Structure 1
């Protein structure tokens, strides 16, 4: 069983600590994605799993074996990098089978395994080509094929699609998802693109400043973010944040912001009088058709994206524009004054330290 366990992992470069006590258990065959902004520690953590960076403290366990100080070649892992790192003078078949050649595997067995990998990735017709004759997506398939042929217990992907254009990224996401379904392996994938994370992951690990902010399924992170950092990072466009104050003088708590107020009656949440941050997804801001509006806002910009339109609003009580999703058929235009309501059942509340209430 290729279970991966990170036990209180720390990493320092000199006096600078970049990984701060990471604890995480990844199950056999699970697809886990590390996300976070640049410099958050996600790629450093992946390189420590691979053995390309030493660990300052803690343990890394793959299967039942402590591999913390084991050489990368002995960890039974395979890593796919952002750069394809193919040998330009070798054919596709030779690139894929290179590791087997180093292990003195008989040529007939190399040919058989290369053929199986090529069929899995649908690149049989490319086996005699050199990398310079391949597209970016084809080169990435070859790099993945070189990893597959090693039959690793754990696959590590370090932003493998960032060099591809938008349409190829979508195509390769599908290829990687299919690959995960076919292979009996655990996968850990690093990206700064939360769309990739949402579409691929069984679970997402959100990193920030060398720490884990939250671990959960894509839907858990989207619907129940642990704090404002996760709420703002997961989702495109990101969650709207509105500064408000809690008023419980009438019994049930009410959030007041600008000229607006909304009830926050929720038995599971405990509100204290004072300042809070309300979080609202763009799809949960609604045009008040036949309802009493919570507030009125002026349309600044409309982005028509085909399947939907994004409307950027000036509210007068928020320094940042508020974003709303509408149907592409809606006749909204810049300068319009819109009466708006919040879906009160989907409003998130965060305390002054950013933690979800």
Structure 2
């Protein structure tokens, strides 16, 4: 069983602690994606799993085996890097089978396994080419093939698609998803691209400042973020935030912001100001007399399948982003009456926690 367990892992570089007591349990055959801003610790965590960074404290296990201090080559882990790192003088077949040759595997066995990997990754027609004769996507498939051929228990991917153009990223994302289905393997994937995270992951782990902010399925993180960091990081365009105060002057508590008063129901209301969060798709143009507030259109981005409308409200520091139908006829300078979907408003206390 390739269950991966991370217990109270810490990592320090001198006096600077970059990983702060991370705990995570990754099930056998699960696809888990680490996301977070630059410097949050996601790649450092991946490198510690691989054995490329030493652990300052805690324990890492695969199944029942403690691999915390085991050499990288003995961990039964394969890692695919952002750089393809192929040998330019070797053919595709030789690159894929290189690790087996080092392990003194027989020529017949190497040829058989290279052929199997090439079929899995659709590289059969490219086996005699050199890396310089391949596209970026083909080179990355060769790098993945070099990992697959070792039959590891866990695959690690460190931003493997970031060097590819947009079209190739989409293609390779689909190929990695298919690969996971075919191999039925445990995979841990690091990316800063939330689209990759949302489309590939069984579960997403959101890192921030060396800590895990939230772990959950893509839909759980999108619909029920634990705090403002996760709410703002997951989703493109990101969630709109509106500063508000709790008003009880009319009896029932309400969130007061700009000209609006929205009823709030909660078992326990926090003290002080609050923050409301609303996704762009949960803001719409109001009918007469229904508007929560109005604003002035600043920019309209027409994306084909939809339009993004950026509206200056006067009471939010940044424009409010609204996702709109593609044929909506609005222009910069227009005034729009807007209404929020009451059932889809997120509420956060002053410290950022959802309530």
Shared fold per TM-score greater than 0.5: yes
Which residue of 2 is the match for residue 295 of structure 1? 293
The equivalences for 1:71-86 within 5 A come to 71-86=71-86
Q: SS at 1:46's partner residue?
A: helix
Deviation readout 1:31-68 (Å, 9 max, x if unpaired): 00000000000000000000000000000001110000
Aligned residues: 355
Q: SS at 2:273's partner residue?
A: strand
Supply the distance in 2 between the matched residues of 1:230 and 1:224 (Cα, whole angstroms): 9
Which residue of 1 is the match for residue 276 of structure 2? 278
Deviation readout 1:55-104 (Å, 9 max, x if unpaired): 00000001110000000000000000000010000000000000110111
TM-score for the superposition, normalised by structure 2:
0.99
Deviation readout 1:311-352 (Å, 9 max, x if unpaired): 000001111111000000111111111111000110111111
Contact persistence 1:297–1:339 (CA under 8 A): yes
The equivalences for 1:215-230 within 5 A come to 215-230=215-230
Supply the distance in 1 between the matched residues of 2:5 and 2:99 (Cα, whole angstroms): 27
Contact persistence 2:270–2:349 (CA under 8 A): no
Which residue of 2 is the match for residue 112 of structure 1? 112
Supply the distance in 1 between the matched residues of 2:60 and 2:28 (Cα, whole angstroms): 15
Q: SS at 1:271's partner residue?
A: coil
1:341 is aligned, of 339, 342, 353, to 339
Deviation readout 1:175-213 (Å, 9 max, x if unpaired): 000000011310000001111100000000000000000
The equivalences for 1:89-238 within 5 A come to 89-238=89-238
Would you say 1:29 and 2:37 are equivalent positions? no
Contact persistence 2:272–2:350 (CA under 8 A): no
Supply the distance in 1 between the matched residues of 2:70 and 2:2 (Cα, whole angstroms): 16
Q: SS at 1:140's partner residue?
A: helix
**Deviation (angstroms), 1:233:** 0.3
Which residue of 2 is the match for residue 316 of structure 1? 314
Supply the distance in 2 between the matched residues of 1:291 and 1:188 (Cα, whole angstroms): 51
Supply the distance in 1 between the matched residues of 2:221 and 2:136 (Cα, whole angstroms): 32
TM-score for the superposition, normalised by structure 1:
0.98
Which residue of 2 is the match for residue 63 of structure 1? 63
**Deviation (angstroms), 1:290:** 4.8
Supply the distance in 2 between the matched residues of 1:184 and 1:335 (Cα, whole angstroms): 53
Deviation readout 1:285-310 (Å, 9 max, x if unpaired): 11102551101111000000011000
Supply the distance in 2 between the matched residues of 1:62 and 1:84 (Cα, whole angstroms): 26
What's the C-alpha RMSD, in Å, of the aligned pairs? 0.9
Supply the distance in 2 between the matched residues of 1:2 and 1:336 (Cα, whole angstroms): 57
Contact persistence 2:81–2:158 (CA under 8 A): yes
Which portions of structure 1, spanning 4 or more consecutive aligned residues, are displaced by more than 2 angstroms? 248-252
Supply the distance in 2 between the matched residues of 1:276 and 1:85 (Cα, whole angstroms): 49
Deviation readout 1:196-234 (Å, 9 max, x if unpaired): 100000000000000000000000000000000000000
Which residue of 2 is the match for residue 48 of structure 1? 48
Supply the distance in 2 between the matched residues of 1:177 and 1:124 (Cα, whole angstroms): 20
Contact persistence 1:264–1:344 (CA under 8 A): no
Which residues of structure 1 form unaligned runs of 5+?
none
Contact persistence 2:295–2:313 (CA under 8 A): yes
Deviation readout 1:266-285 (Å, 9 max, x if unpaired): 5xx52245310000000001
Q: SS at 1:352's partner residue?
A: coil
Q: SS at 1:112's partner residue?
A: helix
